[in-house]
């Protein structure tokens, strides 16, 4: 199954969100965390998390970008377990069965978003509050177009003249 992992290219998430996700955590949309938020409550860093943040598990911090990755059965089980515990302890789910159903929905939704994309594709999220509720829009940047394919190092072979010059010997 394809899911999303948090990714950072710089430290901006640490400045934008009250609680930034760690690099490489599994991520879900997380719109449920804003289900009872009003327009008046959407200010500052909370507004940034609402507008552009994926929810990372298990830190429950936010990330601006995620990368599509393949999740093993063990990864999914750990993600589900952390979500179940979170739904019970933070959101007051009545029992593990109800929390498990909510966790399964969140994981399935993220898997549906990731399914159509190649591994390594970057995803961003734009969320807005409408009269009908929370609206989400996802944007994908294919791996080949992302910086994942940019070369930052180039290996240059030294020829004999360079080697002799660098060692202080003249030819």
pLDDT for the residue 77 = 98
Regions of the chain where pLDDT drops below 50:
145-146, 148-153, 161-163, 165-167, 169-171
pLDDT for the residue 130 = 87
CA angle 98, 101, 103 (to 5 degrees): 110
Q: What does pTM read for this prediction?
A: 0.80
Q: How far apart are CA 17 and CA 166, in angstroms?
A: 49
Measured on CA atoms in the order 71, 77, 80, 81, is the torsion positive or negative?
negative
Q: Which residues contact 124 (CB under 8 A, 6 or more apart)?
A: 52, 64, 65, 138, 139, 141
pLDDT for the residue 151 = 46
pLDDT for the residue 27 = 98
pLDDT for the residue 41 = 83
């Amino acid at each position: 199954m394809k899911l999303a992992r948090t990714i950072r290219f710089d430290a901006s998430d640490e400045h934008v969100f009250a609680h930034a996700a760690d690099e490489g955590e599994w991520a879900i949309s997380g719109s449920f965390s804003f289900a009872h938020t009003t327009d008046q409550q959407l200010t500052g860093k909370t507004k940034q998390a609402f507008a552009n943040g994926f929810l990372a598990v298990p830190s429950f911090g936010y990330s601006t970008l995620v990368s599509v990755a393949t999740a093993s059965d063990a990864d999914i089980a750990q993600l589900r377990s952390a979500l179940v515990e979170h739904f019970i302890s933070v959101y007051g789910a009545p029992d593990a069965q109800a929390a498990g159903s909510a966790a399964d929905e969140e994981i399935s939704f993220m898997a549906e978003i990731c399914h159509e994309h190649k591994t390594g594709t970057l995803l961003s999220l734009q969320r807005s509050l409408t009269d009908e509720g929370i609206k989400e829009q996802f944007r994908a940047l294919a791996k080949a177009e992302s910086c994942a394919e940019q070369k930052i190092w180039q290996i240059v072979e030294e020829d004999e003249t360079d080697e002799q010059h660098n060692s202080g010997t003249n030819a």
